[in-house]
Chains A and B, each alone.
Chain A
Amino acid sequence: MSNGQSERREMTGAEMVVQALKDNGVRHVFGYPGGAVLPIYDEIFQQDEVEHILVRHEQGAGHAAEGYARSTGKAGVMLVTSGPGATNAVTPLQDALMDSIPLVCLTGQVPTSLIGSDAFQECDTVGITRPCTKHNWLVKDVNELAATIHEAFHVATTGRPGPVVVDIPKDVQFAKGFYVPPQIAPRTSYQPKVQGDLEKIKAAVELMAIARKPIIYSGGGVINSGPEASHLLRELVDLTGFPITSTLMGLGAYPASGKNWVGMLGMHGTYEANMAMHDCDVMICIGARFDDRITGRLNAFSPHSKKIHIDIDPSSINKNVHTEVPIIGDVGRVLEDMVRLWRATAKADKKALYPWWEQIAKWRARDSLAFKMNNDVIMPQYAIQRLYELTKDKDTYITTEVGQHQMWAAQHYHFEKPNRWMTSGGLGTMGYGLPAALGVQIAHPDALVIDIAGDASVQMTMQEMSAAVQYKAPIKIFILNNQYMGMVRQWQQLLHGNRLSHSYTEAMPDFVKLAEAYGGHGIRCEKPDELDDAIMEMISVRKPVLFDCRVANLANCFPMIPSGKAHNEMLLPDEATDEAVANAIDAKGRELV
C-alpha cells in the first residue's frame, strides 16, 4: 500500500490529500471544484494517477461514487467545495448511509480563521453531515490530515460500510506538514465484530436442520460482504435445499435462475416469496434489516416462525422484529462457519421439504407478476422483459431511479451475479440512477450500463448526461415514459380517492432532442413490435443514449402489499380492479397516520 517515498515526507495539505487517495488505492474521484478546494484541484491537475471526473452537480458526484462503489466493492470518492458544494452532497450521503455504501466525501472549508464568521460559502459541514454519515471529521491541523483520511477510508469500508466526510479548511490545504502512510492501527473505540459467535451459529444450524418450512431471506449485506459471501450463500442454499428470497438491495447474490429462487419479497415482491415468509417455520435472515417495505404489518409478520438473524450491525438485531437466534458478524465469515457446521453435523432431509415446496409451487402458480399484454401500447413490464432478454448475455450493469419503473425492473430483470444492480433502496432517491450509471461506466468502461428510468426521476439529475458525453461514457438511459410520477399516482389511487394531485407532468421535454442537445443519441419507441429493434439500436450506439420508451400511461405496479396489511393479504394483478384498488385500504387504514 504505502510506497517508501511517501514515508514522513513534508508536503502541503493539498498534496497529502492526493497522496492519501493514491495510497488508499483510489483511481477515480467524482467532483466539482470551487474556491475552498482549489489547492487540491491544483494538485490533481499536476498528476495523472488519480483521474477526476467532472460532474455537473455535486449530487451527481455522490451518486456516481455510489454506483462506482456498489459495482466494484471499493470505496467511492467524491470531492466538493465548501458551502453549497457540501450541502448538495447531503442527499447522496444519506442515500449511502441507508444503503450501507462505502463513500468517502472530501469537502473544502473556509480557512480556520474564518470558521464561524459566516464567511462566503461557509456552512457547518460537519454539523450538517453528522446525522447522515457514519462518521465525519473537521481537520484543523495539517499534521493530522493524512492519518484522518486513512481513518476515513477505514471507517467507510469496514464493519457496516457507510459514508464519511473529511472537511478540510483551505489554509490546511496550503499548510505544510508531515505525511504518514496508511497504517493498520484503528482507533480502539471502533472495532466492528466480524466473526460470529460459534455457539449461536451452532444453534442456528440445529434449528435449520429440523425446519420443515424454512426460508432464507437475504439482503444487501451479502453483496457488501463481497463475492465470497454470495458464493457461500449459494453453497448454503444447495446444501440445505431451502427456498430463498431477497430484498431489493440483495438481488443477484443468489442467481434468479437458481432452482430455489422464489423471487423478491416485500411490498412489490412475488406472492410466493411473501406467502412463504408468512407461513414459514424457520426464517434465516442474512444481511437484511426487516425494513418496513419488507415486513408489511409488523404484528402479522411471519407469526409462526423462529427467526435467525445474521447482521454485522448489532443495532439491526431486534430493532423491528424479535429474533430467536441473533448472530452478530460479517455475513461472509458467519456463512463460512455455518456451511462448515452444516456439512459436519446436519444432514439435509430434502424429502421432508417436499410438502413445503409443493405449497410454494401452488403459490407460484398464481403467477403474481403476470400482466395483460397489449399489441398497440408498450406495457412497462414487457419493456423490461425485452430489455432483459436482449441484454442478459452481455456484461450488463443495471441502475434505476425510484418509482414504478424501479419495482418493475426488480421484478422483471433477473440478476445472476452480485454487484450488477445499483438502486436507491433505503432513501428512495429519485435521480439516483443516471449519475450512478456514470459511476458504474467509469469503473467498467467496456460494460453495458443501463439506467432503467422513469420520466420524472430522470429529470432530477439529467444534467449528468453532459458529464457522460464529456467522458465518453456510453450509458443507456432507458426511460419508461408514462407522463406520470407513476408510483405517486398509484398511491393517490390507493390512498387518496384517485385525486391525482400534481402527479401528472403536463410539459415533458422531447427526450430525443434533449439527448442530441447534450451530444448523445436519442431514440423513441411507441409500438411493441418496434421495441426489439430500438433496444438493439440503443445497445449498438457507443454514446450516451436517452431512450424514450412510451409505455401505457396508467399501468400500476402489482402485486402489492397495501398499507397496514400482512404478507398474506397481497393485492394481486388479476384482482386489482379499479374497485379493489380504491378499497384496498379498509377502515383500519384510518387509524394509520
Chain B
Amino acid sequence: MNAQHLQPTGSAYFIAKETERPENHTLSVLVDNEPGVLARVIGLFSGRGYNIESLTVSETEHEKHLSRITIVTRGTPHVLEQIKHQLERIVPVHRVVDLTVRSHEFGQERPLERELALVKVAGTGEARVEALRLADAFRASVIDANTEHFIFEITGKGSKLDQFIAIMKPLGLVEICRTGVAAMNRGSQGM
C-alpha cells in the first residue's frame, strides 16, 4: 500500500475543544405521566450524547397525572444549560429545575439528596456479627434475616451508601439494589 503518499483527510466540522470543567448537577423534571414520557427524556439524553449518572421517576400527583423525574447528570455549565432547554422543548414536560444551580442561588453547596439501598449480606460467625454491628453504626435497619443472611435497608447520601456497601463487601455481600437519587431544595419554596 502507498498510504503514506495519500493526502491527509479532513472534515468540514470544526470540533471545538471544551475548556470548561464538567460538573455534576441534579435536575428535577415535572412531566405529564403519559405513555412514552420517560422514553422521550432518556432518548434526549442518549440522542444528544448527554450523561445520566442517576435517574429516578415516579408519579407524584396522581390526580393531575404528574410524575417527577430526578436526573443526576454531568456536563460543563454550557452543556447543562442546553440540557435544561432541550428538556423544556419536550411537549409533556412542565418544568425543569436545576436543583444544583438553585441551591447555589440560596448560598448552599448542593440540594438535599437521598438515596435508598437494599443490601443483602450472607455469612456466619464473626463476619455476621460484624455486619450487624456496622449496620447499626450506619443506621441501616434489618428488614429480612435468617440464620445465614441479613437484608439491610439504608437511606442517605450517595456517598454514605457507597461507603456502607464497600464495608459490607468483605463481610459476605451478595447483592445490592439502589433507587437512585431523590432530591429537592431546602427552604419553603416548591420547585
Instruction: Give the B-binding residues of A (Cβ under 8 A).
Output: 126-127, 130-131, 134-135, 138, 155, 187-190, 267, 292, 296-299, 313-315, 317-319, 491, 495-497, 499, 563-564, 582, 585, 589-590, 592-593
Contact = CB atoms under 8 A, between A and B. Distances in A.
A189 B91 CA distance: 6
Nearest to B36: A126
Contacts of B14: 292, 296-299, 563-564, 592
A593 B6 CA distance: 17
A-B pairs, 7 with minimum CB distance: A315-B85, A497-B7, A589-B10, A135-B91, A592-B11, A189-B94, A585-B10
For B8, B81, B90, B92, which residue has the most chain A Cβ atoms within 10 angstroms?
B8
Nearest to B40: A130
Contacts of A187: 32, 91-92
Interface of B: 6-16, 31-32, 35-36, 39-40, 43, 47, 78, 81-82, 85-86, 88-94
Contact of A318 (B43, B81, B90, B91): B81
A190 B7 contact: no
A138 B91 contact: no
Given A130-B40, A592-B10, 11 more contacts: A135-B91, A138-B35, A138-B36, A187-B32, A189-B32, A189-B91, A189-B92, A189-B93, A315-B82, A317-B85, A491-B12
A288 B36 CA distance: 31
A583 to B, nearest CB: 9
29 contacts: A130-B36, A130-B43, A131-B43, A134-B91, A135-B90, A188-B94, A189-B31, A189-B92, A189-B93, A189-B94, A190-B91, A292-B12, A296-B14, A297-B14, A313-B89, A318-B81, A495-B9, A497-B9, A499-B6, A563-B11, A563-B12, A563-B13, A563-B14, A564-B10, A564-B11, A582-B7, A585-B10, A592-B13, A592-B14
Given A130-B36, A189-B31, A298-B16, A495 B91 contact: no
Nearest to B12: A563
A582 B9 CA distance: 11
Nearest to A492: B9
Contact of A563 (B10, B16, B32, B82): B10
Contacts of A292: 12-14
Contacts of B16: 298-299
Contacts of B91: 134-135, 155, 187, 189-190
Contacts of A127: 39
Nearest to B90: A135
Contacts of B47: 131
Contacts of B43: 130-131
A496 B36 contact: no
Contacts of B8: 585, 589-590
Contacts of B6: 497, 499
Nearest to B34: A137
Most buried by A among B6, B12, B32, B47: B12
A297 B13 CA distance: 8
A591 to B, nearest CB: 8
A130 B12 CA distance: 28
Contacts of A496: 7, 9
Contacts of A499: 6
A317 B90 CA distance: 17
B44 to A, nearest CB: 8
A189 B43 CA distance: 19
A135 B37 CA distance: 10
A190 B93 CA distance: 8
A309 to B, nearest CB: 13
B70 to A, nearest CB: 18
A571 to B, nearest CB: 13
Contact of A315 (B78, B88, B92): B88
A394 to B, nearest CB: 36
Given A126-B36, A315-B85, A315-B86, A593 B92 contact: no
B40 to A, nearest CB: 6
A499 B9 CA distance: 11
Contact of B15 (A267, A497, A592): A592
Contacts of B12: 267, 292, 491, 495, 563-564
Contacts of A585: 8, 10
A314 B11 contact: no
A194 B44 CA distance: 24
Contacts of A314: 85, 88
Nearest to B7: A497
Nearest to A160: B89
Contacts of B89: 313, 315
A592 B13 CA distance: 7
A125 to B, nearest CB: 11
Nearest to B85: A315
Contacts of A189: 31-32, 91-94
Nearest to B47: A131
A495 B93 contact: no
A317 B40 CA distance: 22
Contacts of B7: 496-497, 582
B128 to A, nearest CB: 46
Contacts of A135: 90-92
B66 to A, nearest CB: 9
Nearest to A189: B94
B119 to A, nearest CB: 35
Contacts of B85: 314-315, 317
A155 B47 CA distance: 22
Contacts of B39: 127, 130
A330 to B, nearest CB: 16
Given A189-B92, A315-B89, A593 B15 contact: yes
B78 A318 contact: yes
Contacts of A297: 14
Contacts of B92: 135, 187, 189-190
Contacts of A318: 78, 81-82
A491 B16 CA distance: 21
A449 to B, nearest CB: 31
B15 to A, nearest CB: 6
Interface hub of B13, B14, B16, B86 (most chain A Cβ within 10 A): B14
Nearest to B83: A315
B35 A590 contact: no
A315 B11 CA distance: 26
A360 to B, nearest CB: 26
A524 to B, nearest CB: 34
Nearest to A151: B91
A523 B8 CA distance: 43
A453 B15 CA distance: 32
A27 B183 CA distance: 50
B36 to A, nearest CB: 6
